[in-house]
Chains A and B, each alone.
Chain A
Amino acid sequence: MAEPLVLGIETSCDETGVGIVRGTHLLANEVASSMEEHVRFGGVIPEIAARAHLESFTPTLRRALATAGVQLKDIDAIAVTAGPGLAGALMVGLSAAKGLALATGKPLYGINHLVAHVAVGLLEGGHQGTSRTERSTGTVESPVLAPNTAALLVSGGHTEILRVGSLTDDVELIGSTIDDAAGEAYDKTARLLGLGYPGGPAIDQAAKKGDPTAFRFPRGLTMPKFEGTAENPGKHRHNWSFSGLKTAVARAAEQFQAQGLAVPTADIAASFQEAVVDVLTSKAVRACQEHGLTSLLLGGGVAANSRLRELLAQRCATAGITLRVPPIPLCTDNGAMVAALGAQLVGAGAPASSLAIPADSSLQASRILI
């Protein structure tokens, strides 16, 4: 079969995304975000996100079809995020996708959001929007997953490192956060410091004027009892924890307030960011090394963070790992990544999903297709 034309629908958090790909060619990536509506709450409110998905679905779909210059009847398959994510939000995209699949008679693929973040790395034409794909070390551009690939996914909703042997049948979770997602820690800290929402860009900005060594904030789960050794790994060797960090930041700020002093916002922001980025990158790079993974893809909204990209590039280069960061509009949640994974599954001859599939808010990374 010629390269499949796949429509992808994403509604797992606060972005309503509809993307269209042909094989590994990106044709459209339309996103409607309800982010503005969450600003006054300092974080994503699931009910607000779910309401916005329903409002945005049809207009976003129509825009994507117009951008790609295709009609629904031309589509070969419909892929949709079935999990993980916010249950009520997932349900909107999944139901709408079922309606489209049923009405058009096209196969439905209920796919894993995390794996879709990795599949987006295969897309060509991803320069649409911003910069082209970046690499820390050059390799020949090819729409094939590099062997021994790892993916570091960092967003407001999730923080994971995956081993990806094959996008269609071999994905393994190596490590993840055991409490807050890294992006969530950014949001909570930004709220605490009065820097606004979303926290990622706000803290990144404030940190530029601050001293990252001013405060020594904790690096979660780095004590020997959690980490063990390469030969005898501890339970949390490749896991992260960000909830203690949030508490430490609050305590630091309170100490100044108690003495009637101005809170050194920039220094706290810079030190907080350094703590997050340090522990994220050091554990990710070590996980790659200990699993023989030589290629690392960064995904998720926090990929936009300048310090994360800088330090990760540096540490990957030192460790001889090829780092790949898709353009930011493809790192944040979007429909194109869902379509990209859908196209891989169609190409691999994977069986379509039933119209009876449920949304699975805690879908395991290893389950690529429901």
Chain B
Amino acid sequence: MLLLAIDSSAGASLALIRSGNVPDAAPEVLHSAETQVPNAHAEWLAPAVTEALTEVGLRGEELDGVVVGAGPGPFTGLRVGLALAHGLAEGWDVPLHGVCSLDSLALRADDAGISGQFLATSDARRRELYWARYESAEWAPEVWSPGKSSEFSGPPQAGCRLVEGPFVGPAEELPDLPSVGAGLWLYPDQLTSAELAGAPADPAAWTPHAVELGRLAHGALTGELHGVLCAPRPLYLRDSDAKVPAQMKGRAG
């Protein structure tokens, strides 16, 4: 199975993921790339997809599907990735799958050896965070267990599952749990950093990445993970802010 994953919920990123040669082995990341430049998603993402395919020497028609981060994230940037993904999936005539972008951070935390309950956070602007609560523990096999598909031999097994979310709200209203993601550097006084001995970088600097979303979707599509895929539509979590103008209020018809 070959998948292209893209995400534009915080930075913008993409990954090409392929099933390993060994049955049940973890999928192989053929290519990954990202930009942190704000507001450059629209310019960066499409050329980066072309580059990725060229570099790996694959044609888009060989893909088994496109995976897109459904957010949550700032609306305009989020839509860039989703609109691109819709165009790509139509153009290649392949299925399009959504994955909650915060799941990327949960999988990274799980990879880094987190245990127990924790929060994945990202910047929602306007003094708020997007967040979701996850739990990493030993689970019966029917519970989704990102990143552990290679060890999927028998119950019970280690893994991570979504407890609740995603939500949007101010940092002070989040459950008091160890956290990863942008909430940590935005609100260091309100959030507690997760202790991660095996973390590749400071968890305060983590933003969602297509690599993990691709791995999760791969797990779901090969039947090893459950509850991962969602509709390829934006998880806005907020209304569109529009206000009914004063003149209209109280006016009949």
Contact = CB atoms under 8 A, between A and B. Distances in A.
Nearest to A51: B240
B248 A191 contact: yes
B235 interface: no
B241 to A, nearest CB: 6
Interface residues of A, number: 43
Given A54-B79, A54-B234, A95-B80, A358 B42 contact: yes
Given A99-B90, A192-B247, A356-B44, A91 B83 contact: yes
Interface stretch (A37-45, A119-127, A226-234, A268-276): A37-45
Contact of A54 (B46, B47, B86): B86
Interface in A193-230: 194, 196
Contacts of A102: 46, 49-50, 60, 87-88, 91
B46 A95 contact: yes
A240 B213 CA distance: 52
Interface string A86-97: 011001111111
Interface in A81-109: 87-88, 91-104
B50 A51 contact: no
Given A99-B84, A191-B247, A61 B47 contact: no
Residue with the highest number of chain A CB atoms closer than 10 Å, among B44, B75, B84, B85: B84
B173 interface: no
B242 interface: yes
A194 B84 contact: no
Interface string B69-80: 000000110011
B234 A72 contact: no
A252 to B, nearest CB: 15
Given A96-B83, A103-B87, A103-B91, A194 B244 contact: no
Interface in A228-249: none
A233 to B, nearest CB: 37
Contacts of A87: 76
A47 B47 contact: no
A42 B245 contact: yes
Contacts of A355: 46-47, 50
A58 B87 CA distance: 8
Interface string A301-320: 00000000000000000000
Nearest to A97: B87
Interface in A1-60: 40-43, 45, 47-48, 50-51, 53-55, 57-58
A191 B234 CA distance: 32
Given A40-B244, A51-B240, A99-B87, A94 B76 contact: no
Chain B interface size, as a band, is 35 or more
A354 interface: yes
B248 A42 contact: yes
Given A50-B75, A72-B90, A88-B79, A95 B43 contact: no
B236 interface: yes
B226 interface: no
Interface in B86-143: 86-93
Tell me the interface secondary structure of chain A in the complex: helix
A41 to B, nearest CB: 5
Given A45-B242, A102-B88, A103-B92, A88 B75 contact: yes
A100 B88 CA distance: 5
B84 A42 contact: no
B37 to A, nearest CB: 13
Contacts of B60: 102-103
Contacts of A99: 46, 83-91
A96 B47 contact: no
A348 interface: no
Contacts of B45: 95
Interface in B206-253: 233-234, 236, 240-245, 247-248, 251-253
A357 interface: yes
Interface in B5-56: 42-47, 49-50
A95 B44 contact: no
A354 B42 CA distance: 12
B244 A41 contact: yes
A43 B243 CA distance: 11
A115 interface: no
A58 B68 CA distance: 15
Given A41-B243, A43-B245, 8 more contacts: A45-B242, A61-B90, A72-B91, A95-B80, A102-B88, A196-B253, A355-B47, A356-B44
Query: 4 closest A-B pairs (Cβ-Cβ)?
Result: A99-B87, A103-B91, A95-B83, A47-B240
8 contacts: A48-B242, A51-B240, A91-B83, A96-B83, A103-B60, A196-B253, A355-B46, A359-B42
